[in-house]
Amino acid sequence: MKTSPIISSLALVIAALAAPSVSAQTPEQVAQTVLAKNPVIDGHNDSPEQIAERFDSDFSKFDFRNTIPTMGTGSEPMHTDLSRLRKGRVGGQFWSVWIDPELPEFEAVQRVIEQIDIVHRLVDQYPDDLQLALTAADVEAAQNKGRIASLIGMEGGHSIGNSLAVLRQAYALGARYMTLTHWKTLDWADSATDAPRSDGLSEFGVAVVQEMNRLGMIVDLSHVSEATMNDALDATMAPVMFSHSSADGVTRHPRNVPDKILKRLPANGGVVMVTFVPSYVNVENRDWDAAQKAEEARAAALYPGDKAARAAYVTNWQGAHPMPPVTAKDIADHIDHIRTVAGIDHIGLGGDYDGITFTPDDLGDVSTYPVLFAELARRGYSAADLAKIARGNILRVMRGVESTAMQIAKNKK
């Protein structure tokens, strides 16, 4: 028996109406759908430091599957554990290996190796959940196995002790990006939060960037001055990253990326991993943070040698001056701005979890990335846009850096 064309057409219409469509999904559903296929690769998480400080690098003192019950010496729970990474749809994490910029060179080198060791031990301790990743292909292989790709990022060029040999050995141990400075200006690179010394990069600083290109190590420009950003962009042959920075055009802050630099990113191919640090993303919170630091200095002057009295003074001030609220909408404003100035291909995420004291109200730990993606979906970002922000853009940067290293090696033969 033949079916009439009218009945067939009617059946197709009914089926189409019955089938769920992306446009019919709520923003929350869109976020979950996108992140299920494109789990987040975050640019910066300070869990290794927390493990070192809270638990003295003793893995018997905590369970990374759930860190909330084991706070260690910290007064607040960690922002990160495997359970919450899974809930947050995180598929790749650059673990920051940070050390104090004030350390002597020899001690800085030792301490950064100890931090790298923590990441390796973490991966070895939880092989069903974590997998070491050294390349973009490794990240995708980990995803295919349902594991969280674990990458290593060195936070601060003081870690290499003014030695290209140490830089090479850090790469050999698995470090795949290095932030050129932290808060302190170095002999060879100016920081955004310290007095300049080289007006950007010194001759040795340029050599560091060139050696990172040769190795296949991402040049990270978070924490550096605008002059250093420009010098690094002039020197590099590979895409750069900002592992945890936001847009200066939205919130004026020395740690954010100026529009002049954002406009250079399309030619370079780099990416800004937008951070969640409240004082970087909200003007009122930035001013509150500055005022709090002033009160901490006042407390130190009023109560020298009395740690308890200083803490009580600051706590009382905080009670009288509550922190201005920050939400995912503030983060989305920065993403909007970077999209306008640089384009959708130059945005990623670098939450800075476990490296910050305060978090946005609705982005309290690593389980909350879907909240931000729902906000972006609400603003009209397409599924393709969201996939780029989640992981596509940083994977492209990684491939670009790897390709540059291969080309340099080929040209030297």
- The residues carrying an active-site annotation are 44, 46, 155, 182, 223, 244, 352
Residues pairing with 274 in the sheet: 245, 349
Residue 137's CB is within 10 A of a number of other CB atoms, namely 13
Pairing of strands 175-179, 271-274: unpaired
Strands (E), 46-142: 90-98, 130-132
Spatial contact of 176 and 212, defined as CB atoms under 8 Å apart: no
Dihedrals phi, psi of 43, to nearest 5 degrees? -85, -10
Reference 220, options 185, 182, 179, 259; nearest CA is 179
∠ Cα 184 186 189 (to 5°): 105
Q: What are phi and psi of 245, to 5 degrees?
A: -140, 165
- Report helix angle 203-215 to 226-235, nearest 10: 50
Angle between helix 283-302 and helix 307-320 axes, rounded to 10 deg: 150
Angle at 329 between CA 327 and CA 331, to 5 degrees: 85
Distance from C-alpha of 155 to C-alpha of 178, rounded to nearest angstrom: 6
Terminal CA-CA length for the chain: 72
178: left (phi over 0), alpha (psi -120 to 50) or beta: beta
How far apart are the C-alpha atoms of 324 and 360, rounded to whole Å? 10
Q: How far apart (Å, rounded) are the C-alpha atoms in residues 244 and 45?
A: 9
Do 268 and 240 form a contact (C-beta atoms < 8 A)?
A: yes
| C-alpha–C-alpha distance, residues 94 and 87, integer Å | 18
SS3 241: strand
Phi-psi category of 269—alpha, beta or left, where left has phi over 0 and alpha has psi -120 to 50?
left
